[in-house]
Amino acid sequence: MIDSFQRMRWIAANTFLEAVRQKFFNAVLLLSVALVVGSVFFQQFDFGSSELKFISDFGFGAVFLFGSILSIVLSTQLFFNELDNRTALTLLAKPIHKLEFLAGKFFGAYALMFCFTFSLSLVLAGLLFWRETVLMGQLAEGFDRGRLIRYGDVFVFGFIQWIKFGVIAAMTLFVGSFAQTNLFTIVVSFFGLVICQLQYIARDAYLGMAAGAGRWLVQGLSWLFPNFQLFNIGDQLVYPVEEPLALVTLGLITAYGLVYSVAFVLLAQLNFRSREL
Amino acid sequence: MPSHAISIQNLTKDFSVGLRGLKLRAVDGLNLEVEAGQIYGLLGPNGSGKSTTIKIILGLLRPSAGHCQLFGQPCAEVAARRSLGFLPEAPYFYRDLSGRELVRFYARVCGVPRQQIRKQVDSVIELVGMSEAASRKVGTYSKGMLQRIGLAQALVHDPELVILDEPTAGVDPLGAADIADIIRELKRSGKTILLSSHLLAQMEGLCDRVAILHRGQLIREGRVDDLLTQADAQSFVVEGLDPAAQFKVERAIAEAGGELCRVEKTQRSLDALFLEAVNERAQAAAQEVSHD
């Protein structure tokens, strides 16, 4: 068991190293940082919200958008590079289980997504701190109780998004486990992402239906895809609100994401086990 | 330990082709036994089932029928691969790692104990002659260097059985001769080597036994000497005969009831000529440098 974890660790470390050295990751990271920093200059589109709220919403949007793209594209690339370049042949000819290979790939991509979300959260927190300090000097009466922003919450949001990116990466690996091309995997995974974003519609639908086969079917479908709306907790974070996010809720969302990640990796293993290389 | 490193019984592999799932038989009822400590050659034209057989041995493909065992263990089991090293045809490795990082990575995933990793890695890198280039990125390596570093990763966990799929493909004759020397060295250290190659001259000089596959079926198998020796013919290599003496020899053969099939000039192989010429030039250059 310890040996198995060690092997996964080494495969994950190698996957991480390979991905970090790819231009795509660095380009997306730079673009995301530029977008977050650029939010300061986009305030004419703020539609009436306060400057700090606008910056945080814009930053959260950038984390979600680029994080989702990165999760899908990088997971696909890291998996198919191994198959297309036949490095998987050399690796799987070693005493390695296919599950260790898949889990190693997943953890490598997951570690990369951690770096991405942490970096972006750090930039966003820094930007908010700078703007809040400037505004405190200009509008002292609005900050008579000190700083408004809870900076730790920026990282809590980043953490929850990272959990979600894990689900997306695992779902992408699942699609890749039966797909023949990386283009197919990317397209289907993006469709999966959209379905997961809109999953609450299915939930609302079955709640309004009478008990019976139709309701079970819709309910079953809603369980098949994770509900990504649960991860949209930005409104309960960062600024003082009437109902701040409870720690228990945070734990439940994390567990929800981890269960789906593990389930998708195990489903990917079911497909990949019988795949002939 | 069982005397057979590889034991294959009635192995068959079918692939489904097209939407209608038509069966393409890549390996057809193959029986093969490779004894431990041998260099065993797998020969055959493209599409003869060599690579499919190797992939089944490696556990990468599942046979449609039949059995395959490595040192008595079913080859589909991961544990069977602990004693196996593999160099794929035209290997491609992680380009951004250095040669040493690459071999270290494979040592780790193969479970080489932490305290032995450095020694093992350095040892195999030296064996394949890559010590000077080990710090360079794999992406900058030539084909020959890739084959050498591929050989190093196949040997880093000190396997009992080494499978080499076209180990000299795309390598110049000097590099191929070096790889052949490494293979002989592996045999001397007690390893079993399964070799697949199109270079028949090299296989002839290296292998103890060979199997020839055609359309997935075994059509010849045996010791190289036995397969190549013509039992009813002898050859004499003679120097310094003038035409009159040659005539006498030919008449003596006829009188003794033999039939002289042909008289020809003895030739070296082109490989031998090339190696001799290049080595002579390299030695001369080395001497010039030492004189300077």
pLDDT of residue B228: 79
Residue written as tokens 């030739």? Answer: B267
Distance CA A67, CA A52 (A): 22
**Both tokens of residue B223?**
């010791």
CB-closest option in B60, B92, B111 to A92: B60
pLDDT of residue A120: 92
Output the tens digit of pLDDT for each of chain B's 292 residues.
567 899 999 999 998 877 777 788 999 999 999 999 999 999 888 888 999 999 999 999 999 999 999 998 999 888 888 889 999 887 788 888 899 999 999 999 998 998 999 999 999 999 998 999 999 999 899 888 899 999 999 999 999 999 999 888 878 888 888 889 999 999 999 999 999 987 788 888 889 999 998 888 988 888 888 887 777 777 888 888 888 988 898 899 889 888 888 888 777 776 677 777 777 877 887 888 777 6
CB-closest option in A3, A18, A274 to B111: A3
Mean pLDDT of A66-75: 93
Beta-strand ranges (E) seen in chain B are: 4-17, 22-35, 39-43, 65-70, 73-74, 84-87, 161-165, 192-196, 209-214, 217-223
Give yes or no for B91 touching A (CB within 8 A). Answer: yes
Contact by Cβ (8 Å): B104, B121: yes
pLDDT of residue A192: 93
Q: Which residues of B touch A17 (CB under 8 A)?
A: 96-97
Nearest CA among B38, B42, B27, B43 for reference residue B4: B38
Most trustworthy range by pLDDT among A2-6, A139-143, A149-153, B132-136? B132-136
* B140 phi/psi in degrees, rounded to 5: -95, 0
pLDDT of residue A72: 95
**Both tokens of residue B176?**
């191929």
pLDDT of residue A13: 93
Contact by Cβ (8 Å): A185, A170: no
B78–A96 CB contact, under 8 Å: yes
pLDDT of residue B56: 93
Q: How many C-alpha atoms does A233 have within 13 Å on its Cβ side?
A: 28
Question: In the predicted model, is pLDDT for residue A206 greater than 80?
Answer: no
| Beta-bridge partner residues of B42 | B196, B211
Nearest CA among A228, A98, A234, A84 for reference residue A157: A234
pLDDT of residue B159: 93
* B69 phi/psi in degrees, rounded to 5: -130, 145
Question: In the predicted model, is pLDDT for residue A48 greater than 60?
Answer: no
A14–B94 CB contact, under 8 Å: yes
pLDDT of residue B200: 81
Mutate to test the interface with B, among A89, A91, A101, A275 (most CBs of B within 10 A): A89
Question: In the predicted model, is pLDDT for residue A83 greater than 60?
Answer: yes
Question: In the predicted model, is pLDDT for residue A46 greater than 60?
Answer: no
pLDDT of residue A150: 85
* Helix, strand, coil percentages in chain B from 3-state DSSP, rounded to 5: 40, 25, 35
CB-closest option in B59, B96, B153 to A18: B96
**Both tokens of residue B162?**
């080494």
pLDDT of residue A43: 64
Question: In the predicted model, is pLDDT for residue A177 greater than 90?
Answer: yes
Question: In the predicted model, is pLDDT for residue A45 greater than 60?
Answer: no
pLDDT of residue B2: 62
Q: Which residues of A touch B109 (CB under 8 A)?
A: 7, 10-11, 91, 94, 96
B58–A93 CB contact, under 8 Å: yes
Give yes or no for B82 touching A (CB within 8 A). Answer: yes
Contact by Cβ (8 Å): A101, A91: yes
Give yes or no for B39 touching A (CB within 8 A). Answer: no
Q: Which residues of A touch B105 (CB under 8 A)?
A: 10, 14
**Secondary structure (3-state) at B135:** coil
A92–B96 CB contact, under 8 Å: no
pLDDT of residue A49: 54
How far A158 CA lies from chain B's nearest CA (Å)? 30
Q: Which residues of B touch A277 (CB under 8 A)?
A: 55, 60-61
**Both tokens of residue B110?**
């193969």
Mean pLDDT of A113-124: 93
3-state secondary structure A73-136: HHHHHHHHHHHHCCHHHHHHCCCCCHHHHHHHHHHHHHHHHHHHHHHHHHHHHHHHHHHHHHHH
**Both tokens of residue A54?**
């606008």
pLDDT of residue A44: 61
Q: How many C-alpha atoms does B215 have within 13 Å on its Cβ side?
A: 1
Q: Which residues of B touch A26 (CB under 8 A)?
A: none
Strands of the B65-70 sheet, one edge to the other: B22-35, B4-17, B65-70, B73-74
A94–B109 CB contact, under 8 Å: yes
pLDDT of residue B1: 57
Pairing outcome for strands B65-70 and B73-74? antiparallel
Pairing outcome for strands B161-165 and B84-87? parallel
pLDDT of residue B183: 92
Contact by Cβ (8 Å): A238, A56: yes
Which position has the higher pLDDT, A32 or B40?
B40
pLDDT of residue B12: 94
Q: Which residues of B touch A105 (CB under 8 A)?
A: none
Question: In the predicted model, is pLDDT for residue A249 greater than 80?
Answer: yes
Q: Which residues of A touch B110 (CB under 8 A)?
A: 94-95
DSSP-H helix ranges across B189-242: 200-206, 224-228
B93–A90 CB contact, under 8 Å: yes
Q: How far is CA B277 from CA B87, B129, B174, B179, in A?
A: 30, 22, 11, 19
Give yes or no for B19 touching A (CB within 8 A). Answer: no
Contact by Cβ (8 Å): B41, B210: yes
How far A7 CA lies from chain B's nearest CA (Å)? 5
Distance CA A226, CA B130 (A): 50
Nearest CA among A61, A73, A58 for reference residue A27: A73
**Secondary structure (3-state) at B257:** coil
Q: Which residues of A touch B58 (CB under 8 A)?
A: 89, 92-93
Most trustworthy range by pLDDT among A93-107, A200-214, A225-239? A93-107
| CB count in 10 Å sphere of residue B12 | 16
**Both tokens of residue A177?**
């486990």
Q: Which residues of A touch B59 (CB under 8 A)?
A: 92-93
| CB count in 10 Å sphere of residue B181 | 12
**Secondary structure (3-state) at B192:** strand
